[in-house]
Amino acid sequence: MKIAIIGAGAMGSLFGVKLSSVPENTVYLLDVWTEHVDAVNSHGVLMELGCESTTYENLIASTDAASVGHADLAIILVKSTDTKQAVESNIDVFGPETTIITLQNGLGNVELIREVVGGKNVVAGTTSHGAMVLGPGKIRHTGAGKTIIGELDGSQTDRIKTITDAFNKACIETNLSDDVMSAIWGKLLVNAGINALAGITKCHNGELIEHPELMELLELAVLEGVEVAEAKGIKLGFADPVSRTKEVCMATAKNKASMLQDILNNRKTEIDMINGAIVREGNKLDIATPINAALTNLIHFFEKQR
């Protein structure tokens, strides 16, 4: 399968190395970060996992989608702040038969991709893997987790089964869901509880549940999101999203959440697709989401100071 990964940051590179380990795949990493592209083409991707490092050389990196041409599968893994621009500038990989899957954080990515390429080729998913970039051509796999993918209408098409098989064959443990929006909202709620709070307080994930005053904000942010999700008719995949969020804090206790990493590195954050999205969806339904609004405003304030 010819696979183009749009966005070769931590997650894009992680999916890239895993998929490139299956001989029948040809994997292209597309990114604007030229140092990374050059490093991948000269030495491959070095991935650290625990105390081990492995180099994966079977990938081709490029800044130029035209040189790659139409892919069978395009995986969108840019930050959700860059979705539309990344899809527009990599338009040459999307042919009439290309299936496009977004595995990005937050809400709204499907709609942004569809604005550029139309609706019928887009499917979606979410992944719980953790990874970070260590430098050009170098990443660390910080935690393994499940990937859940599906057609937006829940149908079990051949193409979604093919992607599920391709991911599992590459040791990306993947479940095919008939309700992928439930999985996307599940991850959104966890991100809404952890990310902004970590970005504002500069705490590691584990510390957020060690301090009662932070834990209360985490709980309230998630519960507001649950109210909005339920009003939208989203069936959440786990009974208690607050406990689930705390479990993720424990499981990733030593990690800096992605939004904290963005703030520390003076990058734009995904706040508008996470807590900001809960506020927007709440407004449409007349549901007050004051904690998510406050978290969103505070992160916007940090972004303004970049």
Q: 139: which strand partners?
A: 47, 133
Q: Which is nearer to ligand PAF, 90 or 191 (CB)?
A: 191
- Computed on alpha carbons and rounded to an integer, the radius of gyration of the chain in Å comes to 19
Q: How far is the CB of 140 from ligand PAF (least distance, A)?
A: 13
Residue given tokens 């406990």 in the structure block: 243
Q: How far is the CB of 42 from ligand PAF (least distance, A)?
A: 30
- For 116-121, the CB contacts below 8 A with 24+ separation are 116/84, 116/87, 116/88, 116/91, 117/87, 117/91, 121/94, 121/96
- Tokens representing 222? 């998630």
Q: Which is nearer to ligand PAF, 31 or 270 (CB)?
A: 270
* 187 is a catalytic site residue: yes
Distance CA 226, CA 186 (A): 9
Q: 48: which strand partners?
A: 53, 140
Q: How far is the CB of 48 from ligand PAF (least distance, A)?
A: 17
Q: How far is the CB of 94 from ligand PAF (least distance, A)?
A: 27
Closest residue (Cβ) to ligand PAF? 258
Where does residue 213 rank: exposed (0-12), middle (13-18), buried (19+ CB within 10 A)?
exposed
Q: Which is nearer to ligand PAF, 62 or 258 (CB)?
A: 258
14 binds ligand PAF (CB under 6 A): no
Angle at 48 between CA 45 and CA 50, to 5 degrees: 165
Binder of ligand PAF out of 80, 126, 205, 292 (CB under 6 A): 205
Binder of ligand PAF out of 83, 164, 255, 296 (CB under 6 A): 255
81 binds ligand PAF (CB under 6 A): no
Q: Which is nearer to ligand PAF, 114 or 204 (CB)?
A: 204
Q: Which of 187, 232, 235, 268 is catalytic?
A: 187
Query: Which residues in the 165-204 window bind ligand PAF by CB under 6 A?
Result: 190-191, 194-195
Q: Which is nearer to ligand PAF, 18 or 244 (CB)?
A: 244
Binder of ligand PAF out of 37, 257, 271, 279 (CB under 6 A): 257
Distance CA 260, CA 177 (A): 30
Q: Which is nearer to ligand PAF, 62 or 252 (CB)?
A: 252
Tell me the number of residues near ligand PAF by CB under 6 A. 10
Q: How far is the CB of 259 from ligand PAF (least distance, A)?
A: 7
Pairing of strands 73-76, 99-102: parallel
> Contact letters (x/-) for ligand PAF, 221-250, by CB under 6 A?
---------------------------x--
Q: How far is CA 93 from CA 62, 74, 75, in A?
A: 12, 7, 11
Contact between 29 and 16 under an 8 Å Cβ cutoff? The reply is yes
Pairing of strands 122-127, 99-102: parallel
Active site residues per annotation: 187
Site residues for ligand PAF per CB under 6 A: 190-191, 194-195, 205, 248, 252, 255, 257-258
